[in-house]
Each structure stands twice: as structure tokens, then as C-alpha cells.
Amino acid sequence: MIICRGAVLHCFTGSRDELQACLDHGMFIGITGWVCDERRGLELRELLPMIPADRLLLETDAPYLLPRDMRPKPASRRNEPAFVPHILARVAEWRGEEAQWLEGVTDSNARQLFNIEF
């Protein structure tokens, strides 16, 4: 049996007030390649430090929301899970954290939320 220990707001792109409401309700916050968009992701980047590390998830919305700042851009223009490390590196940079540390934290968060044991 799988037991879920909370909820995730997939592909969060909301406001500061919406973020706080989600956190107040105990939700995990899912960040996708949207944050890498040089136009639409700017507001979201400003909110990244407000998300407690133990409530942050990094996710893909494959095949959508390809991180727009990837160089070179994939020929297929499709997003895929293999690009999550790019999102991780950018989010860690914008939060002022080490990518390896943030990877461990977000991995632990996903395991906790979805009750994944290894």
C-alpha cells in the first residue's frame, strides 16, 4: 500500500500570497522549467528563497515547459526528465545554495511525500 504524506502544488507559478497560503496548508511546492524562462519566470525566481528547502520539489512537466535558458536547446524542443538537473542547478543558483546539497534535500522531500524507500 502507498501512503501519501501531504500534497504538492505541481508547477507553481503563483504570487507571494498564493505561495504563503500553500505553505500554510502544509503543501510541497513543485518548481518546473517555467522558472528558467527569461520573461515569465522572473517573478517566480524572486519567490524561490521563500520556499523552505524541506518543502521544495523540482519537477518536469514533460513534454511541456522546456527550460528556455538551456544551451544548446534540444533539437526536439520537448522537455524530458533528463533536464531536471538543469532546473536544479538554476534553482540552487538563484537560492544561493549548493546544487549537490539541494539535490539531496529535494530527493529526500520526494521520498518523504511519496513514501519511497530504498
Dihedral angle over CA of 13, 116, 26, 23, nearest 10: -30
pLDDT at residue 5, as a whole number: 64
Give the model confidence (pLDDT) of 50-93 as tens digits: 999 999 999 988 888 889 889 888 888 889 999 999 999 999 99
Q: Give the domain ranges of the chain.
A: 8-114
Assessment of whether the complete model's pTM goes beyond 0.85: yes
C-alpha–C-alpha distance, residues 116 and 109, integer Å: 10
DSSP class of residue 81 equals G
pLDDT at residue 1, as a whole number: 41
pLDDT at residue 73, as a whole number: 85
Give the model confidence (pLDDT) of 3-47 as tens digits: 456 899 999 999 999 999 999 999 999 999 999 999 889 999 999
| CATH code for the structural domain at 8-114 | 3.20.20.140
